Amino acid sequence: MQEPLVIGWREWVSLPQLGLAAIKAKIDTGARSSSLHVAALEAFERDGRTWLRFAVAPRRRSARSVECEAPALERRRVTDSSGNSAERWFIRSTIALGSNRFDAEINLSDRGGMLFPMLLGRTALRGRFRVDPDLSWACGRRRRPGMAA
């Protein structure tokens, strides 16, 4: 069995099925589920299934967003760290973090007031990673185009 990859409290991840090459994620072992900040969330029917259409701004304060579509898993009640409870849509998507690629459930919510557009919770982390809270960007910093290596 392979040793879990050591990651920091914040990392760059990608969601290739959604067309998101790089998005900042807070690693949160206290949160059960993973969460993605979305805007303009719309449910629609396709081939007898519920699908979701939404926009994701991979960078904070960015005017540019990526339009995404994914089949809906279901709606579930989620309680945030302040004790507020709300129904949220869930999808399943591939997440790439470091050398690991895995499928995980992600709830779609308004995280506009948060520093990170994505939160990676313990269900997605379990058995794959060890979190060292002293580390940041342990899997590498994303470089802007034109930056030297």
**pLDDT number for residue 7:** 98
Q: Where are the domains of the chain?
A: 13-130
- pTM, full prediction: 0.89
pLDDT digits (tens, 9 = 90+) for 57-72: 877 666 688 999 999 9
Does domain 13-130 fall under CATH 2.40.70.10? My reply is yes
**pLDDT number for residue 147:** 35
Backbone angles phi, psi at 64, to 5 degrees: -85, 135
Q: What is the mean pLDDT of residues 98-124?
A: 92
Write out the H or E segment, with its range, that includes residue 122: helix 122-125
Residues in Cβ contact with 6 at an 8 Å cutoff, skipping those fewer than 6 apart: 129, 130, 131, 132, 135, 138
As a whole number of Å, the CA-based R_g of the chain is: 15
